[in-house]
Amino acid sequence: MSTESEIINRLRILFPRIGDDAEEFNITPGFTPIVSIDSFVQGVHFDLSLISPHDVGYRSCAATLSDIAAMGGNPCSLLCALGMPEGSMTLAESLARGIRSLADDFDTAIIGGDTVKSSTLFVSLCVIGEGKKIVRRKGARVGDVLCVTAPLGGSAAGLKALKNGLNTFKEAKEKYIHPKPRIGEGLILSEYATSMIDVSDGLVIDLHHVLEESGVGAVIHNLPIERDARELAMSTGERPDEFALYGGEDFELLFTLSRENLEELRKKMNFLEIGEIVKEGLRFNDGREIRLDGYDHFKKDTLSHG
Amino acid sequence: MSTESEIINRLRILFPRIGDDAEEFNITPGFTPIVSIDSFVQGVHFDLSLISPHDVGYRSCAATLSDIAAMGGNPCSLLCALGMPEGSMTLAESLARGIRSLADDFDTAIIGGDTVKSSTLFVSLCVIGEGKKIVRRKGARVGDVLCVTAPLGGSAAGLKALKNGLNTFKEAKEKYIHPKPRIGEGLILSEYATSMIDVSDGLVIDLHHVLEESGVGAVIHNLPIERDARELAMSTGERPDEFALYGGEDFELLFTLSRENLEELRKKMNFLEIGEIVKEGLRFNDGREIRLDGYDHFKKDTLSHG
């Protein structure tokens, strides 16, 4: 095992020189500071037999920054805690490069971190952001339109394609490996959305959070399914809509807004109208109820997620 | 394994209800925001055969808040990421209570967190603080007085007493199990100290950081050794000064200040003058050089730290 100073020196090319016990950061005057922490554990959140350490870093960072996007904020500063097994320096360096790569794309400075020995590889990422107008899960009103930034299910399909060693479904695999946090869209939406969340656990679960926090229900009249997800499901005899309903990790934004703002928002960004906020319940417009526990079934039978 | 929502519900008594993807926090206008992240891993940073999960949480939180004290800041908000093996819910709850207990003592709000499955138990703590005047490692000047907030070596002696199953040395064990971050002292020192760090890795290593950052050296003329550390060392035939030089985890503040401020500071808080900043090197006032690598020897032969 390298000593801690050797590790810090090797990671210094990626992370800033840590010269103090804590790091200063800036918040723009008039903006609201927000913060989120996420952890990713080998064998639970990622499988290094399927994707590279660089990609693990990249998508862990994307998932973390997505939490800031979901509030309509801009990510400013990132702190990274790496737990590394002995002898995994090269792996850690690659993982750190992946984190850095995504962070750079969104002008998020890595301002601090901590490297510790651990028999299980893990990374905890803490992101500090700021927003002019913070959007919460709470805030959806009856009559609001329910929308999503892009078709869903691609990430789950990509993971399945990787697990099954399929050469096709490149777009879905790319969606799984290199998701993009919807920072720009979130900033636009901060002016319009009455509620917002990112699709990390799957549409049904994440929508359920919004409905519960807002004390409302929803009817879905259009379920946009990512193309590869549809094709993969059809080729295996699975139900395409389950990928979009329960797949998760697409990191698209799910949001509600007043119908009167719909046209103005369409001029500024792409999104898909999928339903409407109603008093209670969660169902399709043909009356079929959408079950929350479909998630466990889908994960268990289709993806065998950790 | 409990489902994630069950876990969140059980930890909700300790942590706040997480109702959004990220959490808002406040920074007092005119203050500088600072942040630090620390991780603690079972078998590396703590040993549950020696101390309780509650104590692991307590001292992990103390170590994290100590980073803010070392900058002369006040800790305001804490985020906690827990990695838990299956079936360790009761243990995690106890660990969380320990975190909460220390955080409450210093009015630090736990504003967010993340719970994940992990074969290795770990906790990553991210603390956000603020300071009116931030003190860095860099800033010690030739002629400055070198001081520490209390005698050193107690924590290392306490750990050794625990490892050897000794019934005595209660104060040292308490120092190891329930360290206190020197928040109040750090705030006072923010007005006087020219440089500061907390003693986490041991006096020699931490002092070395200050000297390196400041481009100076130091002469030590008084090495205050915690009473139990002295007695334990004498009973085992070890050198008491090694506990104070290399022991670590005392979380006392090591700082420098101009000699002209010494008397004024004495009126406000207790501390011990241990040496003086000189141009270069690190030695005792009798000329003996203090070696940086004594640390490895001490850890290896005396404590068998992870």
**Residue corresponding to tokens 């022991």:** B247
Q: Does residue B184 sit in helix, strand or coil? A: helix
**B26 contacts on A by Cβ (under 8 Å):** 33
At A260 the pLDDT is: 97
Touching A: B residues 29-68, CB under 8 Å: 32-41, 43-45, 66-68
**A24 contacts on B by Cβ (under 8 Å):** 32-34, 134
At A304 the pLDDT is: 39
Fold of A145-303: Phosphoribosyl-aminoimidazole Synthetase; Chain A, domain 2 (3.90.650)
Task: Quote the minimal CA–CA distance from A9 to chain B in Å.
Answer: 14
Q: Known binder of ligand: residue A200?
A: yes
At B280 the pLDDT is: 97
Q: Do B136 and A45 count as a contact with CB atoms less than 8 A apart?
A: no
A266-305 tens-digit pLDDT = 999 999 999 999 999 999 999 999 988 766 666 655 543 3
Q: Who among B19, B77, B83 is closest to A39 (CB)?
A: B83
Higher pLDDT, B127 or B297: B127
Question: CB contact, 8 Å: A138 with chain B?
Answer: yes
Torsion angle (degrees, nearest 10) of CA A133, A135, A138, A142? 90
Task: Quote the minimal CA–CA distance from B69 to chain A in Å.
Answer: 9
**B193 contacts on A by Cβ (under 8 Å):** none
Task: Quote the minimal CA–CA distance from A77 to chain B in Å.
Answer: 10
Higher pLDDT, B90 or B302: B90
In chain B, ranges of CATH 3.30.1330.10 domains? 4-131
Task: Quote the minimal CA–CA distance from B193 to chain A in Å.
Answer: 15
Position B97 pLDDT exceeds 70: yes
Closest residue in B to A114 (Cα) is: B38
Give the lowest-confidence range in A85-99, B202-216, B219-233: A85-99
B15-70 tens-digit pLDDT = 765 678 899 999 999 999 999 999 999 999 999 999 999 999 999 999 999 999 99
At B301 the pLDDT is: 55
Q: Is A184 left (phi over 0), alpha (psi -120 to 50) or beta?
A: alpha
**pLDDT, mean over chain B:** 92
In chain B, ranges of CATH 3.90.650.10 domains? 145-303
Q: Does residue B248 sit in helix, strand or coil? A: coil
Is the complex ipTM more than 0.85?
yes
Q: Six-digit token pair at A292?
A: 């929350």
A227-265 tens-digit pLDDT = 999 999 999 999 999 999 999 999 999 999 999 999 999
Res. A306 pLDDT band, cuts 50 70 90? very low
**pLDDT, mean over chain A:** 92
Q: Known binder of ligand: residue A113?
A: yes
Position A208 pLDDT exceeds 70: yes
Higher pLDDT, B301 or A290: A290
pTM, two decimal places: 0.93
Q: Do B36 and A111 count as a contact with CB atoms less than 8 A apart?
A: no
Mean pLDDT of the B137-143 span? 97
**Residue corresponding to tokens 């990422």:** A125
Give the lowest-confidence range in A6-10, A62-66, B84-88, B155-159: A6-10
Q: Which CATH superfamily is domain A4-131 in?
A: PurM-like, N-terminal domain (3.30.1330.10)
B160-186 tens-digit pLDDT = 999 999 999 999 999 999 999 999 999
Question: CB contact, 8 Å: B77 with chain A?
Answer: yes
**B66 contacts on A by Cβ (under 8 Å):** 21
Mutation choice for A interface testing from B124, B204, B212 by most A CBs within 10 A: B124
**How far is residue B275 from each of residues B145, B192, B254, B269, B272, measured CA to CA in Å?**
6, 17, 11, 18, 9
**How far is residue B229 from each of residues B30, B155, B244, measured CA to CA in Å?**
43, 8, 8
**B43 contacts on A by Cβ (under 8 Å):** 119
B238-283 tens-digit pLDDT = 999 999 999 999 999 999 999 999 999 999 999 999 999 999 999 9
Give the span between the Cα atoms of A66 and A59, in whole angstroms: 10
**A305 contacts on B by Cβ (under 8 Å):** none
Q: Do A71 and B22 count as a contact with CB atoms less than 8 A apart?
A: yes
